Chain A
């Protein structure tokens, strides 16, 4: 089946630094990628939807300047958490959907810890 690679799987950073998370579709072209945030023992909350070559669509309450999303190619989307603070600590998950694919494939997630 289709594979989505998310990297890094875990990152620890100091408050005020920026962190970039990559999401790659390995064997299909992902026209649409989604970024989710998940708090411990809770469900996934959609942060934004990105389509290749266009600006991401952010959900209400998600700061565009805080969470920068770039989907420059059909196989790569990145999420950059800028000037991270402890409250940004969370599990971030990406998912990808291809043109001819009804299914949604998930990355393995990134655990971000901001000290």
Chain B
């Protein structure tokens, strides 16, 4: 059972366009992370959001954590070919034991 659903699953856009990736769940998470992964490598952490409603910016990337801490979004402004990769959200559940559950993933391709 995948607890975190990401949409869209695939996205191919032209350089300079904006896009938003969504990460949704029916479960509450104590924190949520966004990662980017290149083929054959481990995920690289982009950001961690902890507070409901929190917004964080990382250059052209804007991350938001839902008020109820069940969902999150990643918005990229003026996408560049270097943004190409697999974007993964991961929710941390700390009820009982710590556990990180990954979203279904969004594969982004930015064309020059």
Contact = CB atoms under 8 A, between A and B. Distances in A.
A57 B2 CA distance: 18
B16 to A, nearest CB: 26
**Chief secondary structure at chain A's binding surface:** strand
Contacts, number: 62
Interface in A96-115: 97, 102-109, 111
Interface residues of A, number: 27
A109 B42 contact: yes
Interface in B62-112: 86, 88, 90, 92, 97-105, 107
Contacts of A109: 40-42
A42 B41 contact: no
Given A44-B88, A103-B48, A34 B41 contact: no
Nearest to A60: B1
Given A91-B40, A104-B90, A104-B92, 9 more contacts: A43-B86, A44-B88, A46-B99, A49-B99, A51-B97, A103-B48, A105-B45, A106-B45, A109-B40
24 contacts: A34-B99, A36-B102, A42-B104, A42-B105, A43-B6, A43-B102, A44-B88, A44-B90, A44-B102, A46-B101, A46-B102, A49-B97, A49-B98, A57-B97, A91-B40, A93-B42, A95-B100, A103-B33, A103-B48, A104-B33, A106-B42, A108-B41, A109-B41, A109-B42
Interface of A: 4, 6, 32, 34, 36, 41-46, 49, 51, 57, 91, 93, 95, 97, 102-109, 111
